[in-house]
Every structure is written in structure tokens, then in C-alpha cells.
Amino acid sequence: MEESINDIIRKIRTDLRRYMNGIAAAGMRDKGVHYRMNFGVEILRLKRIAAKYTPNKDLAQRLWNEDVRELKILATMLYPPHEFSTDTAELWVREIPYQEIREQWCMNLLQKLDTAGVLVERWISDADESVRATGYWLYARLCLAASPLSENIPGGALLEASCGDLENESIVLRQAALNVLRFYGRVSGDRAAEVMHKIGSFQHSLRPAGREIFDALRFEFEG
């Protein structure tokens, strides 16, 4: 007899309690990461738990809806990519609570979508900073995976958006934007020169962070 979604979720919760790491969970809370429940289970262990179950759209959505760190991460592992619609992506992107979830979502699910490039292009121009950060991280994941989709994203839009966020107050957004420039510039010498030209004014920025960004990218492309 096929297990119900409720049965599977009960088994997952049992596993999470078995592998709970209170010290890791407490460390996350100390850094401002607050869920209704956080078991502190490591990612490798979550991958092993996910491997026990057949990916299922309804199961993944149920897991995502819970304010539980591990269930949200498992949702990104158990949602069948071919069933993950653009509409659902647009809903989830505005529900990301923390950077870890953003990274796991981009790696486990979003980079596998045929529409990933379209989502990057759409999200990097969004007014919501969290959405832009997700667009940047997804672009980085496509580059890491050597996906041809990364080449179809207009370079002008990438540079305009990411350079505009390099001095944002959000460290998450700044780092995500910097990653975009690194990956974009690594493709060729021409692209590297394009990046350095775009951020040329940072060399004499009155803000130390601006000069550090310039030096970091110059070292990246000249090394």
C-alpha cells in the first residue's frame, strides 16, 4: 500500500529528531536565524533522508509551507524539477527566509529548470532586494554548472543590476552581486575588461568597501 504524504512527513520528522544537533541549531539562532523549529541537521544527512523518498510535488509543497529549516531544505530536494512551474517559482522567491534556503533552492532545484535563465533575467531587475539576491545566486549556480542558459542572459542587464547593488547596505545582496561580476568576468578577457570598466569609479571610492571590491575584482581577473 502506497504511503500517504502525512505518513512520509511523520517519518521525516522522526529522522530529524533522531539526527537533531542542538548545538548547531543554537548557533544559528545566535546568528539571527529563527524558525518555528530548527533541528540543526547537516545538509549531507538531509540528502540521505531525501534519498529515501520519491520526489513528489505535493509532498514538497507541504514541506515548503512549514516554518521548519530542514523541511524547507528537503522541499527543494524533493520537488520534481519538470513539475516546478514559473508561477510557483514566483511565489517561493518571495518566501525565502534566510540565505541558506536561497542557496539550497538554487542548487537543488532552480538551476535544473529550463526556465532558469528567464527567472534570472526577471529577478535581477526586481525592486525586492531578496528577489534580486536570488536572481544573482541562480546566475552563479548556472555558471558553476556550466549551463548554456547562463550565456543567454543579457550581459548589460546583469552588469547594470549587480553593479548597482555592490554598495547596498545588505551584505547578502552585496556578496551576491559581487559573485555575479566574478562569474561574468571569468568567461573571457573582454568580459573581465567590461566589468573593470563598469566599476572603475570604485578604485577611488570614499568608502573602503568600494575600494576593496575594486581590488578584489582586479586581483580576480589579473591573477
Specify whether 92 is located in the same domain as 174: yes
Q: Is residue 181 part of a domain?
A: yes
The predicted pLDDT at position 18 comes to 96
Helix (H, G, I), strand (E, B) or coil at 165: coil
Same domain, 105 and 68: no
- Asked whether residue 66 falls in the same domain as residue 99, the answer is no
Work out the pLDDT band at 210, boundaries 50, 70, 90: confident
Query: CA 29, CA 114: separation in Å to the nearest integer?
Result: 36
91 plus 183 within the same structural domain: yes
Is residue 223 predicted with pLDDT exceeding 80? no
For 68, the 3-state DSSP assignment is strand
Domain check: are 49 and 140 in the same one?
no
User: What pTM does this model have?
Assistant: 0.93
User: Does residue 70 sit in the same domain as residue 91?
Assistant: no
Residue-level pLDDT at 206: 79
Please give the pLDDT value at position 205.
Answer: 83
Least confident of 56-65, 76-85, 144-153: 144-153
What average pLDDT score do residues 199-215 get?
87
Average pLDDT over residues 108-120: 97
Average pLDDT estimate for 22-32: 95
Residues 6+ apart with CB under 8 A from 63: 9, 12, 71, 72, 74, 75, 78
pLDDT of amino acid 2: 59
Residue 18, domain member (yes or no): yes
Predicted local distance difference test score (pLDDT) of residue 1: 44
In this prediction, residue 167 carries a pLDDT of 87
Kindly state the percentage of the chain with pLDDT values over 90.
91
CB 162 within 8 A of CB 191: no
Task: Tell whether 102 and 131 lie within a shared domain.
Answer: yes
209 belongs to a structural domain: no
Percentage, residues of the chain above pLDDT 70? 99
> Is 66 found in the same domain as 91?
no
Give the range of the structural domain holding residue 42, as residue numbers without chain letter.
1-55+62-78
> What is the average pLDDT score of the chain?
95
pLDDT of residue 26: 95
- Do 73 and 84 fall within a single domain? no
- Any domain includes 219: no
32: left (phi over 0), alpha (psi -120 to 50) or beta: left
The domain tally of the chain equals 2
Do residues 44 and 92 both lie within one domain?
A: no
Do residues 125 and 74 both lie within one domain?
no
In a domain? residue 196: no
Q: In terms of domains, do 89 and 136 share one?
A: yes
